Amino acid sequence: MSLIRVIPLGGIREEGKNMYVIEVNESIFILDCGLVYPEDEMLGIDAVIPDFSYIEENKDRVLGIFLTHGHEDAVGALSYLLKKVDAPVFGTELTIELATISAKNKGLQDRVENFFIIDEDTEIEFEDATISFFKTTHTIPDSVGIVLKTDEGSIVYTGDFKFDPNASPLYQTDFSRLTKIGDDQVLLLLSDSANAENQELNVNDLKIVEELESVFYNAEGRVIVACIGSNISRIQQVFDAAQRSQRRVFITGDNLIDIVDTSIQLGKIYLPSKDVIGQMKDLKKTDDDEIVVLETGDIGEPIKALEMMARHKHKQVNLKEGDLVYIATTPSISVETTLAKTKDLIYRAGAEVKTITDHYRVSGHASQNDLKLMLNFLKPQYLLPVNGESRMLAAHAKLAKELGYDDFHIFLPQNGDILEYKKGNISLAGQVPAGDVLVDGLGVGDIGNVVLRDRRVLSEDGIFIVVATISRRLKRVLVGPQISSRGFVYMKTSIDLIQMCSDMTLDVLEDHLARSDFDWGELKADLREKLGKFLFKETQRRPVVLPIIMEASSYQPKDE
């Protein structure tokens, strides 16, 4: 009998950042390694990735990293993991190609040699498990689910999926394979929950092409289409609709160009004509009613790029009177506030805004009917809803109960919880570290809650700086205090406030200099506390108080 442990390091009680560790005896298999983009209050943060501490401690046991598809929520953190763990990576053709581009961009060319392409017919045998794959429908081609077969039964991970009988061959689910998997004793199902609250059926792709074609045909000026960069299905639909409405597509952003070029080379995007893609250098020469600008933004979220266009700060395209901005994606909840502000900026720039969600329910994830159908296909003994916030996971669990599952066979853990299968039952068996690791430029994990708090305070209440030079030997304040602020108060109209702060600073400095046990840390903490309380009392604002106290150890007064 095998000892099986399932440890989510991401994807639980959050949408995205998928990463699931499956342990069979001493073997470790990693399913997906994704990131999530930061919420608005995470000022300056580029991305959030899983905590790899547990993997680093057990890296010699990792036999492989298995990827379901090429979106950032599944592969976005892979390059960061490969800097710490040298393990083979398995994925479909497009997934591996996108992962390769990312790895090379981060200076990991040598690790690419350990990337291996699989397909739905691939079986990989290990000592403790056999891993195979099945085709799924998502918004990017070459999406697969993963089956990890053990002597106790199979563990199945759906990855992101939905069911669409009208999907093109590149996106079709292998229903016969699902039936066979379900007939072969599924122990545990890890199933996508991102759309579990939705009772409606997702609109099929044909309707979306018709909608885009109508938008392009009726618009009198340029159409700027904003979508997620790795949504290959939507990009294909834009090309098809542009061709039918006699428009050309101009692509902005190097990242999007790489994705489109790679997809065309691999046959994942079909160009209806050679002329459907225009060169950016020809944009100004082309009539407005023949232009579609495809924009995704540098990090895949298009909203920030639209804001830059509206403010006339974009490198390639700025909005003007008569433009139509068409948001061809369902924005995540975390950017809804930003989206509302951006729409306002777009209208100020003289353009108009429409969104695909005005008319259709659009998602690349399984609706409630899809989730029930997956459970009926696979008939798992246990269910672990994944890739969803708490309410989504709860909605998924409720659906399972409607099909006859009880609380003992549905798990709603936290990231880091260890689910252990032993003696015919799954139970919680401890925890491993599984917090968020923040990526800020080249820094990974060196930004914490204290830094984020300071950034938030700086953005809201500014900074208050106190500078003074002292002599501990003479027990005197030699220079200052000198006070300045940024983003807090206007100095010229706050003379009385500044003088009171200066007097308070002088009192604190003289008090500490008179002590026999002078301590720099205590001095600065005392200044921060007293000035902070005083400033809040006077202004109801809490700036970051930064005391800069220097010592002139060699200072000699003139009379000595």
pLDDT at 555: 56
pLDDT at 447: 44
Distance of CA 547 to the CA centre of its chain: 36
Residues 61 and 194 occupy one common structural domain? yes
Q: Which of 314, 330, 357 is the last residue of a domain?
A: 357
The DSSP 8-state label assigned to residue 558 in this structure reads T
Residues 212 and 325 occupy one common structural domain? yes
The DSSP 8-state label assigned to residue 202 in this structure reads P
Residues 339 and 371 occupy one common structural domain? no
Peptide bond into 481 cis (omega under 30): yes
H or E stretch covering 7: strand 4-10
Residues 383 and 437 occupy one common structural domain? yes
Strands 144-150 and 223-226 come out as: unpaired
How far is 170 from 141, CA to CA, in rounded Å? 6
DSSP three-state, residue 486: strand
How far is 302 from 253, CA to CA, in rounded Å? 11
Residues 370 and 349 occupy one common structural domain? no
Residues 317 and 430 occupy one common structural domain? no
Looking at the DSSP bridge assignments, the partners of residue 188 are 155, 382
pLDDT at 340: 84
pLDDT at 453: 54
Strands 130-135 and 123-125 come out as: antiparallel
Residue whose C-alpha is closest to residue 96's, from 66, 123, 116, 120? 116
Residues 59 and 162 occupy one common structural domain? yes
CATH number, domain containing residue 135: 3.60.15.10
Question: Along the chain (560 residues), what's the average pLDDT of each consecutive run of 10 residues?
Answer: 93 93 97 82 67 94 97 92 94 94 86 94 96 95 96 96 87 94 96 89 76 92 88 91 94 83 92 90 93 77 83 89 88 68 91 81 86 96 96 96 95 96 90 82 48 55 84 82 76 76 88 82 87 84 82 62
Residues 230 and 340 occupy one common structural domain? yes
Q: Please state, in angstroms and as integers, the Cα–Cα distance from residue 118 to each residue in 134, 163, 180, 361, 487, following that order.
A: 11, 22, 19, 33, 55
Q: Please state, in angstroms and as integers, the Cα–Cα distance from residue 190 to each residue in 122, 403, 411, following that order.
A: 20, 17, 10
Residues 400 and 514 occupy one common structural domain? no
Cβ(51)–Cβ(33) below 8 Å: no
How far is 335 from 293, CA to CA, in rounded Å? 22
Cβ(212)–Cβ(241) below 8 Å: yes
Largest CA distance in the chain: 97
pLDDT at 332: 61
Residue whose C-alpha is closest to residue 205's, from 373, 328, 374? 328
Residue the block writes with tokens 């939507």: 234
pLDDT at 138: 93
The DSSP 8-state label assigned to residue 425 in this structure reads E
How far is 136 from 159, CA to CA, in rounded Å? 8
Residue the block writes with tokens 């943060």: 45
* Backbone φ and ψ of 521, nearest 5°: -60, -45
Residues 117 and 166 occupy one common structural domain? yes
Q: Which of 386, 413, 444 is the last residue of a domain?
A: 444
Encode 93-126: b = buried (16+ Cβ within 10 Å), e = exposed: bbbbbbbbbbbeeeebeebeeebeebeeeeebee
Record the tokens describing residue 479, joined without a space: 């220079």
How far is 156 from 347, CA to CA, in rounded Å? 47
Mutual angle of helices 205-218 and 232-244, in 10-degree steps: 50
Record the tokens describing residue 1, joined without a space: 């009998």
pTM score, whole prediction: 0.78
Residue whose C-alpha is closest to residue 191's, from 36, 417, 373, 421? 373
How far is 383 from 535, CA to CA, in rounded Å? 54
Could you tell me if residue 232 is inside a domain? Answer: yes
Could you tell me if residue 195 is inside a domain? Answer: yes
Could you tell me if residue 451 is inside a domain? Answer: no
Could you tell me if residue 556 is inside a domain? Answer: no
Q: Please state, in angstroms and as integers, the Cα–Cα distance from residue 283 to each residue in 69, 291, 303, 313, following that order.
A: 33, 8, 22, 17
H or E stretch covering 130: strand 130-135
Cβ(6)–Cβ(414) below 8 Å: no
Residue the block writes with tokens 């890739």: 387
Q: Please state, in angstroms and as integers, the Cα–Cα distance from residue 52 to each residue in 21, 77, 101, 264, 355, following that order.
A: 11, 10, 22, 34, 38
How far is 360 from 533, CA to CA, in rounded Å? 52
Residues 17 and 121 occupy one common structural domain? yes
Q: Which of 291, 324, 357 is the last residue of a domain?
A: 357
How far is 210 from 473, CA to CA, in rounded Å? 82
Cβ(226)–Cβ(256) below 8 Å: no
Distance of CA 352 to the CA centre of its chain: 28
Record the tokens describing residue 497, joined without a space: 């406030």
CATH number, domain containing residue 528: 3.10.20.580
Query: Number of structural domains, the chain?
Result: 3
How far is 444 from 437, CA to CA, in rounded Å? 7
How far is 263 from 72, CA to CA, in rounded Å? 16
Cβ(189)–Cβ(158) below 8 Å: yes
The DSSP 8-state label assigned to residue 40 in this structure reads T
Distance of CA 347 to the CA centre of its chain: 28
Could you tell me if residue 454 is inside a domain? Answer: no
Could you tell me if residue 325 is inside a domain? Answer: yes
Q: Give residue 95's domain range.
A: 4-199+363-444
Residue whose C-alpha is closest to residue 464's, from 546, 524, 537? 546
pLDDT at 485: 77
The DSSP 8-state label assigned to residue 36 in this structure reads B
Could you tell me if residue 560 is inside a domain? Answer: no
CATH number, domain containing residue 260: 3.40.50.10710
| Number of neighbouring beta carbons within 10 Å of residue 143 | 29
Looking at the DSSP bridge assignments, the partners of residue 277 are 249
How far is 185 from 183, CA to CA, in rounded Å? 6
Residues 289 and 384 occupy one common structural domain? no
Could you tell me if residue 544 is inside a domain? Answer: yes
Cβ(467)–Cβ(482) below 8 Å: yes
Sign of CA dihedral 194, 197, 203, 209: negative
Q: Edge-to-edge strands of the sheet including 463-471?
A: 476-486, 463-471, 544-551
Cβ(485)–Cβ(462) below 8 Å: yes
